[in-house]
Structure 1
Amino acid sequence: MEQQTHFFFALRLPLEVKEELKDLSDQVKKMFPFSRWVHEQDYHITLAFLGNADKVQLERAKELIHQQTIDSESFSLKIDNLGVFGRKDFPRIFWAGVQTEERLHIVRKQVFLACKQAGFQLESRPFHPHITLARKWSGDNPFPISQFDDEKILNHPLSFTGSEIVLYQTHLDKTPKYEAIASFPLNSR
């Protein structure tokens, strides 16, 4: 039986930022046992998770995103914090977060609305831009939230330019598991 594939739009991270996050993850693995660590080529900032999709819907979303973002400019971002989602004692996601940047929220809104116009049912949770580093706490003891100091782990912000929106397809049986199938470059400033 073939596994169902999923699609999502995301902001692509530059290779050098992925490498720095990989180095950070390698350091953190020794301190924080999570079940699954994300492959560095799969690091991204999700803008809209589509789930399963047919070709017509995907093509419509791609057309609308192209129209919405054709005049959008690239923008600066900084990864400057770490955190967890889920229960604080047994978190399900360990992530790196980006500093608030209005342009990222504008681009996310453009992508989100284009996907809704294409007929996708999207999550309504507030947008919390982050890069997932690991999933599912597997420590014998609860996550040491009182000892967790992201400033000691991430001792300097990682700056980069958000310059490309990508449509990814998930391949659960591969590593890395996300394949870029369409790209929407943002204009250089």
Structure 2
Amino acid sequence: MEGGGLRLFFALPLPAPLREALGHWQQTGPPVRWSRTEGLHVTLAFLGDRPAEALPALDALASAVATRHAPFALCTAGLGGFPGNRRARILWLGLVPSPALESLARNLRGALAAAGEPFDAKPFRAHITLARLRQPGPLAAFPEPLPTPFAAGDLVLFESLAQGGYAPLRTWPLRRV
């Protein structure tokens, strides 16, 4: 976006040990366009292009949401693909269903909607994007990574960078008050 605009999304960052393990796992797979391990995350709400002036309102909104949720445990699950597993264009790693994660995503999206903040309203589907495939294909070429537990403790507002990758702009610790 021209004129100081930012491409934004709210997400849960992955802890370094999980990012490193997934980076090693990526090296065992076929040559595809792998996601950068330093930017692996679980997207909660994609906001798209927004002016820098939107940051204070997003800061206040996210701060209020973060105070209503305690840190919680998550665990990775099996592989999946968008739009489907037979002709996937996006390879993702799922998560074991988590009521705490669903509640956080629902609360964040509800707060965005109530504040009139635009976001991609596609149904929330907890996943970690691992790769983008140049040619659609089945997921059989990819070995299943081991299930890995991890803790979610921070809500982060990320900016998608023009040269690829993501930069955290604001972080709010989850802490139920």
- The aligned counterpart of 1:157 is 147
Normalising by structure 2, what TM-score? Answer: 0.88
1:77 Cα deviation after fit:
0.4
Change (3 A) 1:74 1:116: same
Worse-superposed segment, 41-50 or 56-65: 56-65
CA RMSD across the alignment: 2.3
4+ runs of 1 displaced by more than 6 Å? none
Give 1 or 2: higher strand fraction.
2
Between Structure 1 and Structure 2, how many residues are aligned? 175
What is the identity percentage for the equivalent residue pairs of Structure 1 and Structure 2? 30
* Structure 1 spans left out of the alignment, 5+ residues: none
Task: Give yes or no for the alignment of 1:171 onto 2:161.
Answer: yes
Normalising by structure 1, what TM-score? Answer: 0.82
1:113 Cα deviation after fit:
1.9
**Distance in 2, Cα, partners of 1:132 & 1:71:** 27
- The aligned counterpart of 1:103 is 100
* Structure 2 spans left out of the alignment, 5+ residues: none
Contact 1:90 1:137 in 2 (8 A): no
**Distance in 2, Cα, partners of 1:137 & 1:158:** 28
Change (3 A) 1:91 1:137: farther
- The aligned counterpart of 2:169 is 181
Aligned pairs (5 A) from 1:77-116 = 77-86=74-83, 88-116=85-113
1:33-82: per-residue Cα shift (whole Å, max 9, x none)?
Answer: 43x21110110000010111123323212201211221310011000111
**Distance in 2, Cα, partners of 1:53 & 1:37:** 27
**Distance in 2, Cα, partners of 1:116 & 1:59:** 16
Contact 2:91 2:131 in 1 (8 A): yes
Aligned pairs (5 A) from 1:27-42 = 27-28=28-29, 30=30, 33-34=31-32, 36-42=33-39
Aligned residue for 2:50, secondary structure, equals coil
